[in-house]
Amino acid sequence: MKETTSVVPFSIPYEIAVVRPLRQTTLKERDEALKAAYYNTELLPQEMIYVDLKTDSGVSSLSTTQLSKLLSAGALESGMEMAPEGNRAFVSLSENFKTIFGFPYVVPVALGRAAERIWSKMHVKQGGVVPGNMLFPSTRFHIESNGGKVADVICEDAHDFSSGQLFKGNIDIDKLEAVFKEHGDKVSCVYVELCVNSCGGHPVSLDNLKAVKAIASAHKVPLFLDACRILENAYLVKQRQPGYQDRSIQEIVHETCSTADGLTMSALKDFLVAAGGFIAMRDEASYQKASVQNFLGGSQPPSAIMEAISTAIQEIFANEAHVASRVEQVNYLWRRLKDGVPLVAPSGGHGIFIDVKRFLPHVPSENFPAEALAAFIYQVSGIRVTKGPPLAASQTARGVELMRLAVPARRYLSGHMDDVAEAVQYAYARRHEINGLKKMDQPGRSRFEPSLFAPR
């Protein structure tokens, strides 16, 4: 989408102030790097990467104002400790957050995972059930580590990669009602992820959120949001949901939050920082409890990070062309690939997802097709892609195999996206050359470490 004046169109809402040289590696160098990394692209050294689409978390480009905040004397302010209201950076961030998101209480944390950990301790009880929509792996971990169980109630269209359904992140209302009917008082809360990562970065409609809220309220159960990609979700609502085309991103974000009793958020995606996150709520008792847990758990962010996030909030909502530019770059890459490469459709908010089963139908799952495809793409192009986060249980049961191309915000140019498209198309044209990998075992290596592979 382009914001225009009457004469000249505007397409990019920023200019490039600082650049980092990218090393142009040779095929021989990449072969050696792959071998040293045991054909696992996650283990490749950063200096050997041309375009890195491993993640969009914490790797987006800072603005000049954000950078100045990180380097200024204000960054030396003492931490929040037990009296956060005495910290200037906290006060500024809280005011900006409350204005945009509408929650009266907010607790800044060091990372989104810290927010999930504190939230789960507060709201998930032993034996409790949490209905959600393909929740992120770290969210599922924190729920289960507190003795809870996740009930996946995402709509069936989320499993249909070729479906044109525009809101594949939606909760299936009938499934949600069935969970309440089966588990009754054991339902601790409902947790909805916006722009659901596991099913392709697809959004949740506001109509669906309101319907979920009505059911949760009827059962006297709170509704919480995983809002780390709330900006992309708001942009896609603006584009796809009737009646919202003339609404601003800020208005849609505020209305989205109005459906919820609270949220957790990693700031590493939408607010372009390398650390930070939030827990937001509507009651003071929960705020006090979360603040204490945040202090005792050592997860309070430094003042410099809060300053950088506060700056990002001001800049992003002052000019929503930033959000449009971010999502439309993803859409541009998706359009470049969609006519030949088997993708999850439609385009999502933060990345492209390849259906590996259709890309490499001749490579069985025991030969690690996604990892083999990632290795091939790196070998021919220097571009890093990875399998992405672990799948939801409902996807694993269906034998799903996805590869994610996560696009960091305002880091790459259209030329980079063209190079990515050419690399993926090259791999697809030569897909029969990809024979899979075999896993290597090393004595003493932990099962939690990245896997090691060798060619078959």
Residue ranges making up the domain that contains 192: 64-318
Of the residues 286, 318, 350, the one at which a domain ends: 318
In tens, the pLDDT along 8-54 reads: 777 788 888 888 899 899 999 999 999 999 999 999 999 999 999 99
Of the residues 271, 289, 318, the one at which a domain ends: 318
Q: Are residues 355 and 280 in the same domain?
A: no
Q: Are residues 314 and 336 in the same domain?
A: no
114-132 as b/e: b if 16+ CB within 10 A: bbbbbbbbbbbeeebbbbb
Q: Are residues 275 and 127 in the same domain?
A: yes
The pLDDT-based confidence of 194 (bands split at 50, 70, 90) is very high
Give the per-residue pLDDT at 352: 96
Cα dihedral 396, 57, 46, 433, rounded to 10, equals 30
Give the per-residue pLDDT at 75: 56
Task: Give me the amino acid identity at 326.
Answer: R
Give the per-residue pLDDT at 1: 44
Please compute, for residue 115, the number of CA atoms within 13 A of its CA located in the half-sphere on the CB side: 27
Write out the two tokens for 294.
Answer: 């945040």
What CATH code is carried by the domain that includes residue 426? Answer: 3.90.1150.10
Q: Are residues 174 and 306 in the same domain?
A: yes
Q: Are residues 439 and 325 in the same domain?
A: yes
Q: Are residues 152 and 41 in the same domain?
A: no
Give the per-residue pLDDT at 5: 52
SS3 166: coil
Pairing of strands 149-152, 129-132: parallel
Q: Are residues 359 and 296 in the same domain?
A: no
Q: Are residues 441 and 300 in the same domain?
A: no
Cis (ω within 30 of 0) for the bond into 346? yes
Q: Are residues 288 and 187 in the same domain?
A: yes
In tens, the pLDDT along 51-88 reads: 999 999 999 998 888 888 888 756 567 778 877 888 89
Rounded to the nearest 5°, which phi and psi values hold at 212? -65, -40
| Percentage of the chain exceeding pLDDT 70 | 98
* Helix residue ranges per DSSP H, 124-172: 137-145
In tens, the pLDDT along 277-318 reads: 999 999 999 999 999 999 999 999 999 899 999 999 999 999
For residue 398, how many other CB atoms are within 10 A of its CB?
A: 12
Contact predicate 348/201, CB 8 Å: yes
Average pLDDT for 103-108: 96
The pLDDT-based confidence of 330 (bands split at 50, 70, 90) is very high
Q: Are residues 314 and 248 in the same domain?
A: yes
Of the residues 258, 286, 318, the one at which a domain ends: 318
Write out the two tokens for 10.
Answer: 């505007």
Percentages helix, strand, coil for the chain (3-state, rounded to 5) are 45, 15, 40
User: Helix axis angle, 88-101 relative to 249-258, nearest 10°?
Assistant: 90
Q: Which of 254, 228, 256 is nearest to 97 (CA)?
A: 254
Give the per-residue pLDDT at 268: 95
Number of domains in the chain: 2
Q: Are residues 50 and 142 in the same domain?
A: no
Q: Are residues 235 and 378 in the same domain?
A: no
The pLDDT-based confidence of 410 (bands split at 50, 70, 90) is very high
CA-angle at 50, arms to 418 and 200, nearest 5°: 60
In tens, the pLDDT along 208-222 reads: 999 999 999 999 999
Q: How far apart are CA 189 and CA 131, in angstroms?
A: 7
**pLDDT above 50: residue 407:** yes
Pairing of strands 223-226, 262-266: parallel
Task: Give me the amino acid identity at 82.
Answer: M
SS3 432: helix
Q: How far apart are CA 296 and CA 291, in angstroms?
A: 9
H or E element that contains 427: helix 414-429
What CATH code is carried by the domain that includes residue 248? Answer: 3.40.640.10
Question: Who's near 272: CB < 8 A, 6+ residues apart?
Answer: 60, 61, 62, 63, 66, 312, 409, 410
Q: What is the pTM of this model?
A: 0.94
